[in-house]
Amino acid sequence: MSDPLSQIVSLLRPRAVFANVISGKGDWAVRYREYGRPGFCIVLEGHCQLAVDGHAAFAIAAGDFVLLPTTPAFTLHSERPIRPVLLDPDALPSDGSEVRYGEPGGSPDMRSLGGAFLFDRPDPSLLVSLLPAVVHVRGSVRLSQLVAMVAEETIHPRAGSEAALARLVELLLIEAMRSSTAESAPPGLLKGLGDERLAVALTLMHARIEHPWTVAQLAKAAALSRSGFFERFTRTVGVAPMEYLLAWRMEIAKDMLRQGELRTADIAERVGYGSSSAFCAAFSRHVGVAPSRFVK
């Protein structure tokens, strides 16, 4: 598998997701404290206002999808806001039951699905590094269909629902990353893949991680001069080419160490090191602990 986005999602190992129907009627406002994990929302009917801490408030309407990679504190309110009710995201139900804001009876003015991603990987910072702090996609039919399927599997679980939810999470993440334009993404892999020349080099680095790549080789593949490639890669991806390659090799190595199926020497060879000692030294410098102590 050489597609960089597919590799990232595979490393994150999404295993589950929960989603709730969220509705509001009349004048209402809620404020959620910081959640710290990736959360999402898609508006099914009506509209409301979303204000994420550190960002300007904006309107979200039917068909809009919002992904918050770290879900800081935020306020959600009707068109005419009132004093917000403080809520704890960890206290939300996880069985797909409806959460209601404002007037309890009658047809809602706004209906949405909100939920969170859960990962087997201990550190989901990989996802955070790819995306802007707030991803807002308008009118994506594919995302709407995927979130609807998530809701169905959550509210009416059947045999195989756990596996189905894990696959749906993968698709949601990939579609969100595709929908987040390269211009809005922070420096990183996603922004790099939006550059057709850098995308060639990035795909090669991911496809042949064990190869002793040089800046000159990658520049040639990208049809750029060595200096032009180095400057463009560093500005767009946020780190120099060899620094990026080192970081990706270490991510792969950490994943192999977690699985515990390979010897250190085998891992060293698979991520491009000629000896265990060279790999251990590089891993210790980059990660802060030796490979032998990483999973203990």
The domains of the chain, with CATH numbers, are 4-179 (2.60.120.280), 189-294 (1.10.10.60)
Q: What is the pTM of this model?
A: 0.76
Residue written as token pair 């002793």: 212
At 90 the pLDDT is 85
Whose CA is closest to 87, among 77, 96, 97? 77
At 183 the pLDDT is 64
CA atoms of 213 and 72, how far apart (whole Å): 39
Q: Is the dihedral of CA 43, 45, 51, 55 positive or negative?
A: positive
The set of residues, in sequence order, having a beta carbon less than 8 Å from that of 116 and lying 6+ positions away, is: 17, 18, 35, 37, 38, 39, 40, 71, 89
Residue written as token pair 């269909």: 145
At 16 the pLDDT is 66
pLDDT digit string, tens, across residues 219-239:
999 999 999 999 999 999 999
Widest CA span in the chain: 69
Structural contact between residues 144 and 66, judged by C-beta atoms closer than 8 angstroms: no
Q: Which residues of the chain fall below pLDDT 70?
A: 1-2, 16, 96, 122-124, 126-127, 181-184, 296
Q: Which residue type occupies 210?
A: E
At 122 the pLDDT is 65
Half-sphere exposure of 54 (CA within 13 A, CB side): 9
pLDDT digit string, tens, across residues 171-204:
888 888 887 765 667 788 888 988 999 999 999 9
**What secondary structure letter does DSSP report for 165?**
H
Structural contact between residues 5 and 193, judged by C-beta atoms closer than 8 angstroms: yes
Q: What angle do CA 288, 294, 296 make, to 5 degrees?
A: 135
DSSP 217-275: HHHHHTTS-HHHHHHHHHHHHSS-HHHHHHHHHHHHHHHHHHHT-S-HHHHHHHTT-SS
DSSP 102-138: E-SSSS-SEEEEEEEEEESSS-THHHHHHS-SSEEE-
